[in-house]
Amino acid sequence: MRKGVFIIGTDTGVGKTVIAAGLALVAREKKIRVGVMKPVATGCFSHEGELLSHDTLFLLKASEGKRHELANPVRFRNPLAPLAAARHEARPIDTSHIIRAYEELHENFEFVIVEGIGGLMVPFTENYFVSDLIQEFKLPVIIVARTALGTINHTLLTIDAAKSRGLNILGIIFNNFNENSLSLDEETSPRIISDLSRVPILGMVPKIEGLNVENLRYGNLKQTMKDRVDLKKIFGELFNG
């Protein structure tokens, strides 16, 4: 198994970028040479004639990476699903280009953190999905999920789809909840999901004070990841203490 993880979500907006960046921040502190990747980004903005992704910049700053063309090889302006953006902008996604970028990252870093887009079954082409890319990369999966009502169904469906495709699920991180005002469903849902799926909970990450992806502000993200996530299970022998 290659050294790295592929971060997927049960839906869009669950906080994959935050969790991926948090892992990168911890890896840097532990002197792990960490690479980051967001294979496809949509909703990008123009800067000096180039399309850039706020999410990718957030990941790169967390890892001190500089190779934007490798970290984010495919970018679209419109905030759409990848296949919809590719059709709208008349630029089909070349998955072989993504794989070559990943291979170069893999050769140059000890550990590579890849953030998917949306969920497991988001299509890049008519017959190629995020799940297919994970199989190509041969990376274990971390599922990022909400705690709110509806998460049991969304998370169990994601787990079932991952298992049916032979993906290695490392565990689940529940993200972005207000720990001072947890509702009953938020308190009970994570344990039910883990019990039913037999997939371990790797962490419970509350809302991060001072965090802002667009402004490249991490708040207390690194310390929260150290306090709330099973980092040893994620980084293995690379992580000491």
Catalytic residues: 38
Q: Bridge-partner residues for 114, per DSSP?
A: 6, 37
The 10 Å CB-count burial string (b at 16+, else e) for 135-174 is eebebbbbbbbbbeeebbebbbebbebbeeeebebbbbbb
Using CA atoms, how far apart are residues 79 and 65, in angstroms rounded to an integer? 25
Cα distances (angstroms) measured from residue 209 to each of 6, 177, 191: 25, 12, 25
Cα distances (angstroms) measured from residue 144 to each of 30, 131, 225, 241: 23, 15, 13, 24
Contact 134, 2 (CB under 8 A): no
Tokens representing residue 134 in the block: 């994970």
